[in-house]
Structure 1
Amino acid sequence: MDPDDNLNLVQPVNPWGGNAWSMYTEYFQWRPTHNSNSKQYKVNAGETLHGSIVYNKNEDSYLLSQQIVETGAVSSQTVPCQDGKKYTIPYIVYEKLFPCGDYPPDGIVTFRNITAECDGVDCTKDIVWEAKVKDANCNMAARIDYPQPGEISITWDTSMPSAYDGLSYDDLEALNGQSGWGKSLVQSRRQVEI
């Protein structure tokens, strides 16, 4: 979720680390740059995550939470609002640019049971999702109502060539930022190379 000025974000995160999935929650702001992640847990392919972003009016804050349904492991953090700033713009994204072979071999991640409340009232059906691709790579696509109505999947093809195939790990790290799962993936690949 982003606020209207798109200068911050709050999100449950399910990153791919090069050979395994994990989960945690993240708060990020662009100016001044600040990042806060909750505790990270390993997630096995096929396990179900339940992520939530819940506003606490009494504290003017958001509780970010992510749970592995099958094991009960929970990762959470509380994020205070900045001068009453509210997060009202929902996104479902897959981010970071790598060679196609570095993406998960599953080729799909699916979001189910997507629900939203606006001022305490269910407004799930009021959200008009748009499928967009910011940086074309690996035939990545967002699919609304796929494979079932009310679900959103992101798909990719690990066998495709990529504009990022020839980049060094230093270049990939610079491209994908200095934090988060992109940096972790580059560092793990670099350790294997050494």
Structure 2
Amino acid sequence: MPAMTMVQAINNALREEMRRDDRVIVLGEDVGRNGGVFRCTEGLLDEFPERVFDTPLAEGGIIGTAIGMALYGLRPVPEIQFMDFIYPAFDQIVSEAAKMRYRSGGQFTVPMTIRTPFGGGIRGGHYHSQSSEAYFCHTPGLKVVVPSTPKEAKGLLTASIRDPDPVMFLEPKKLYRSSREEVPEGEVLVPLGE
């Protein structure tokens, strides 16, 4: 069982889910060639060149595109580089993704997992240190998940990607590389809400 940081566990979960389910798509600013700001998506473009792509700097567009993909039957995992910049996508998340199941009488769902780093403690200043989770925790139809260990990160991200409804997967930046933990290879699933 390899010891992993949270970054490595997130990358491992994404890679395993992309191998398991060809409907899983990763999109966001710099997630492809650069592997993301914190390198959580490093190497995924090489293995999945048709399912990992960089987007313009337009958070509302990233989430709107991911919602469309989800409604089409895919399982997008959009990344917003920092939670501080999620506000341009707020309406798409709260008014569209979170309400789709209820607005359609259960005919449509949005199986989308929004990954975003949040919180302070890394000397990121006022534009890279916000904790805006409360806005989303109070939104019916939206699950909010925050891992605290590498093993939890892998298991919760796997469960989030498989969930039929939208999930906000919030990644504490301070914990990305602060510790290592043995994380099993293969499927690790931490059921949401338990």
TM more than 0.5: no
Larger Rg: 1
Identify the structure with the greater helix proportion. 2
* TM tier, smaller: under 0.3
Q: Which has the higher contact order (CA 8 A, sep 6+)?
A: 2
Q: What TM-score comes out, normalization by structure 2 length?
A: 0.28
Identify the structure with the greater strand proportion. 1
